[in-house]
Structure 1
Amino acid sequence: VTSEPLGRVYVDGWTPDGQRLVLNGNDDDDNFIAVFDLRTREMTKLFTSERWLENSDFSEDGLMVAIAVPRNADDPEDHDIAVFELDDPSELRWISTGEGHRDDDPLWSPDSALLAFTAEIGDTTNLVIYDGAALKEIARKEIEADVLSLRYWSPDSDFLDLIVERHGRNSFWRAHLEGSDIRLVDRSDLSEGSIHTAHRDGERVAVTSSAINRPQTGLQLLDLDGNEVAELDLVHLELPLGTPRSVWLQSRDGAQIQAWVVRTGNDDEVQPGLVYVHGGPTMASKDTWRRDMQAMVLSGFTVIAPNFRGSTGFGPEFRKANILDVGGKDLEDCIAAAEWLRKQPGIDRERIGITGGSYGGYMVLQALTTSPDTFAVGAGTVPVADWIQDYELADASFRYYDVYFFGGAPDEKPDLYRERSPITHIQKLKAPLFISAGRNDSRCPFPPIEHFVEKGWELGKEIEFNVQESEGHGAARKTAAIDTELKLLQFLRRRLAVA
């Protein structure tokens, strides 16, 4: 459709005539909301910002856009909701539950009469519903959740479905609007593990779920009252998958950290260990299916996946704990996970590795270069190797990502950027290291990773480098994903002497 790239864009919706797309995206200059006209093949930016524009919604009648915007330069957590007409974006109206609150994830009702969104107020998470025309609050309800994702309104706008995240699991909830009150129905009984998605067709809701030891193999169909009408089991796996257990461990400064431990076999069988570091960092290791983790477990490793400081699911304060401290206390939490694993029965104390992708890949590099005696081996995919060079090469979205976590640009925080960059400490690298990167990566650009590898080789470091020529931030093609995961797994098996 286009002859030139538009930047990294996501589709918010179609206009009712099917001729225009509303996009949320970013390019080298801006984060933006835009309209792409299929007739003229032109994109027009309606709203731009130097800060993230992550969550937005386009009303089904094709008239209104709502978007969460961080407005306060001194407080990146302070988000308000901007509302404007698609055909007249110059007249902005703002929704705010208060200064310092994070108003986020707007969702229009089918008739655009209501606008729901989440509000993080202090340490509480709230569901808020506004009149869509007057933009006045109708109802508000505090929900015992650390992350709240609004999924779908019912066709008559009487209720909406939510996914609630808490302590490493997602569950399905329903919120009924009853005048100025919101009545909540907890349907976490629908699944062991975590709910992934909920889709509606007006009469039924389809819910999919998985767990660490259960792939996303089927779905449940519910009527609009939440009663199960059918369960479809699509896939059966006959594999000795690792059974997860949730543990709490103490980090070096006494902080309590939740982690998932996964292994097969009994404690009499001595296995090497792997610390599995999630990306984000504003994400979490949850009780959801991870094929790469189970491949490691099936290959004879005991895996521990810590939810280090900065992870979601453990409250706002915990989620914000690595702001201005990237690669600091969060890395100490991952090292504490390795130390905890060493003390467990059935673990070879001398064969503990670390692996992860994206921010997890960064943590692999930072761990091996700043705590070189902790891990016997490391394997990182699409990592950050040099925060300063990453900033210089990044698009508008990821420049703000760096500013958000470091408290300023590299010229404002040069010492912190250098100290928390693995390239600064590469001379201390001891353990064998596997790195995989995509040459087209716009999030963790390829040149700093390549420079890290070449500098390591120049210093005589043992680094195995896997380059995916046609991939970006992770592998979009299944063949490339399988190739990367196999090479990573084979590297770990060789280096940790797994038969």
Structure 2
Amino acid sequence: MSTPHPSPEVPEALFADPERESRWRARFSAARVSLPDWALDAPHASLYVSNAGGVWELYAWDRARDSHRQVTDRPNGTVHGTLSPDGEWIWWFDDTDGDEFGTWVREPFAGGAAAAPAIPDVPAGYPAGLEIGHELCAVGVSTDDGSALYAHRDGRTRRFYASEHDADVAALSRDERLLAIGHAEHGDSRHPALRILATADDAVVAEKWDGEGRGLAALSFSPRKGDPRLLVQHERRDREELLIWDVEADTETELHIDLPGELAGDWYPDGEALLIAQFDQGRSRLHRYEPATATLTALDTAPGWIGSAGVRPDGTVEYSWSNAAEPPLVRSREPGGDDRVLITPPGERAPGSRPVTDVYVDGPGGRVHALVSTPEAARGEPLPTVFLLHGGPHAADEDRFSAYRAVWLDAGFAVVEVNYRGSTGYGSSWRDAIEGRPGLTELEDVAAVHDWALTSGLTDADRCVVAGASWGGYLTLLALGTQPGRWSAGVAGVPVADYVAAYDDEMEQLRAFDRALFGGSPSDVPEVYETCSPITYVDAVSAPVLVLAGDNDPRCPIRQIENYLDRLAARGAEYAFYRYDAGHGSLVVAETITQVAIEMSFAARAVGLA
């Protein structure tokens, strides 16, 4: 029989002031759109994700008619979709209530028919890549048995690859002769290798592996038919950079682009230039690069964060942009330099928020970059402070708009976001520094920034909250147990709480990730999992803790969270548990607002804020 756990208060309102209350809710409920994707050979056919109907769903946009229609309508939302190159079909991933396990279905772009299995004889599983051509489709599936990749042509489906290790469908050449796959046959899914196959007979055309600790990612083939050049991301010089690989000649050209930070890219439609995305110190910028002449040209965009970008057939660059103070926009930059808003969702734009400032603190592993924001009413006295720890762990906090950050500011908290070791954008060594000791390594950097926040006068030592979701939720629980003197409360969303049980129950792709990160499975390195698991330190937790979790989460499964909560209950600790019917987070706007209200109310009470 499971232990009953106390439920948190669900406040009707966070603020007595109606204007403040309306403002924070509007940041979550205001309609937003993602950057539209478009069909390769029918660029009028576009697809985007929006919350305009109250749930994040897929929408089709016929640019020729300027008509929009909602494609999917499911209780827990849909965000994974793409278009066939001819623009006739929309493919989307059909899972169950956010469990991420399912199959690809398709329906006509124009509507009028229900979605049906796109390739009926591909079994259900977790998605592991998809490439759709005119004649050939390749789809990857991950299950507890490992990875299987399938090709479908002329009405027939065949499995062309299977492995106990991680693998994925990565890129299809424009003429559909060549297929790039990523794989971890060397045992490290965090640093994959590449293989190029001939689609006619599955013969291996070329292989590339940069050795231990150096990953490769196939970004895209040249847009020209018959062109075997593949754009590849590598990390040979301790950061993510680019090279062009002629996979048939098996020759490569490293692109020595003189920009700080890390780089990603995609082709311009003529195959003569690349759109370069530069990620540096929590900001991003766009550039045009011409490999033949090594010419680099900055595309002027406002300072902030560019979430995604692409080049239209006429050379127009479309991109999504925001910064901490200004809500997201989808913009269009024409070749001549004119820049305008591309698509405006219905209703009023979300209210803005406060900017972030950069702080650099010396930590045990090097200089730690943090982003700090303060409430508008701050007058210089030490403030209640929340440390928002990002997920991933291989992700980063950026100068981008966050309705979640903004509500903490509205409530009177200073907000500190730490790009701890493990974060991306600061080089491969920084990202991989957590190997063999995850969790505890990141928290050393959080502690260094926390010390700075106290000595600088920013933070009231008696009113510090630690919060995060996913990996950030894991770090939150670990911080409460290993650094109990630092924290007045903790808010952990969809966390790993008992790492051994999580490993047993999570999706195989994450087991492979954990084996690479920890140095093996729990049976291989039990002491590492014990040392790095929050449940090991649960008896040291002294601050009140709120945990939120989804019933169908394949990444941070519910059983291991209940194990942790049972331990809290057994010792009479102060905690609350909110459980909801979804997966690794919710795509339903009203549910998100409810969860945020619960979190804010819990944290405000813990630090004595009205």
Picking from 106, 109, 122, the partner of 2:219 is: 106
Q: 1:401 to 1:484 in 2, by over 3 A?
A: same
| 1:201 aligned residue | 312
Partners in 2 of 1:466 and 1:39 — Cα distance? 47
SS at match of 1:391: helix
| 1:488 aligned residue | 599
After superposition, the C-alpha distances for 1:158-187 in whole angstroms (9 at most, x for unaligned) are: 012121211111211222121xx5332233
Please give the residue correspondences for 1:340-355 in structure 2 after superposition, counting only pairs within 5 Å.
340-345=452-457, 347-355=459-467
Preserved contact between residue 128 and residue 167 of structure 2 (Cα < 8 Å): no
Letter in 2 for 1:110: P
Picking from 105, 126, 146, the partner of 1:8 is: 126
Does 1:295 pair with 2:407?
yes
SS at match of 2:484: coil
Q: 1:90 to 1:371 in 2, by over 3 A?
A: same
Partners in 1 of 2:604 and 2:385 — Cα distance? 11
Partners in 1 of 2:360 and 2:168 — Cα distance? 32
Does 1:172 pair with 2:301?
no
SS at match of 2:284: strand
Picking from 97, 122, 130, the partner of 2:237 is: 122
Q: 1:27 to 1:61 in 2, by over 3 A?
A: same
What's the CA shift for 1:217?
2.6
What's the CA shift for 1:427?
1.1
Partners in 1 of 2:362 and 2:551 — Cα distance? 39
- After TM superposition, the structure 1 stretch with the greater mean CA deviation from structure 2, 472-481 or 448-457, is 472-481
| 1:85 aligned residue | 198
SS at match of 1:464: strand
Identity %: 26
Picking from 27, 48, 65, the partner of 2:143 is: 27
Picking from 254, 268, 271, the partner of 1:154 is: 268
Preserved contact between residue 125 and residue 142 of structure 1 (Cα < 8 Å): no
Does 1:230 pair with 2:335?
no
Picking from 493, 510, 514, the partner of 1:402 is: 514
Q: 1:379 to 1:38 in 2, by over 3 A?
A: farther
SS at match of 2:357: strand
Partners in 2 of 1:120 and 1:216 — Cα distance? 30
Partners in 2 of 1:99 and 1:372 — Cα distance? 37
Does 1:245 pair with 2:361?
no
Preserved contact between residue 231 and residue 242 of structure 2 (Cα < 8 Å): yes
SS at match of 2:447: helix
| 1:62 aligned residue | 176
SS at match of 1:494: helix
Partners in 1 of 2:385 and 2:509 — Cα distance? 36
Q: 1:275 to 1:78 in 2, by over 3 A?
A: closer
Preserved contact between residue 484 and residue 541 of structure 2 (Cα < 8 Å): yes
Total equivalences in the alignment: 486
SS at match of 1:12: strand
| 2:427 aligned residue | 315
Does 1:192 pair with 2:303?
yes
What's the CA shift for 1:273?
0.3
Q: 1:38 to 1:277 in 2, by over 3 A?
A: farther
Letter in 2 for 1:350: D
Letter in 1 for 2:388: Y
Partners in 1 of 2:436 and 2:548 — Cα distance? 27
Letter in 1 for 2:194: I
| 1:432 aligned residue | 544
What's the CA shift for 1:238?
7.6
User: Over aligned residue pairs, what C-alpha RMSD do you find?
Assistant: 2.6
Partners in 2 of 1:98 and 1:430 — Cα distance? 45
| 1:377 aligned residue | 489
TM-score (structure 1 length as normaliser): 0.90
Picking from 418, 440, 443, the partner of 1:328 is: 440
Letter in 2 for 1:80: A
Q: 1:467 to 1:87 in 2, by over 3 A?
A: farther
Partners in 2 of 1:321 and 1:45 — Cα distance? 37
Partners in 2 of 1:393 and 1:81 — Cα distance? 29
Letter in 2 for 1:405: L
Picking from 332, 351, 363, the partner of 2:475 is: 363
Higher RCO (CA < 8 A, seq sep 6+): 2
Structure 2 unaligned runs (5+)?
Answer: 1-115
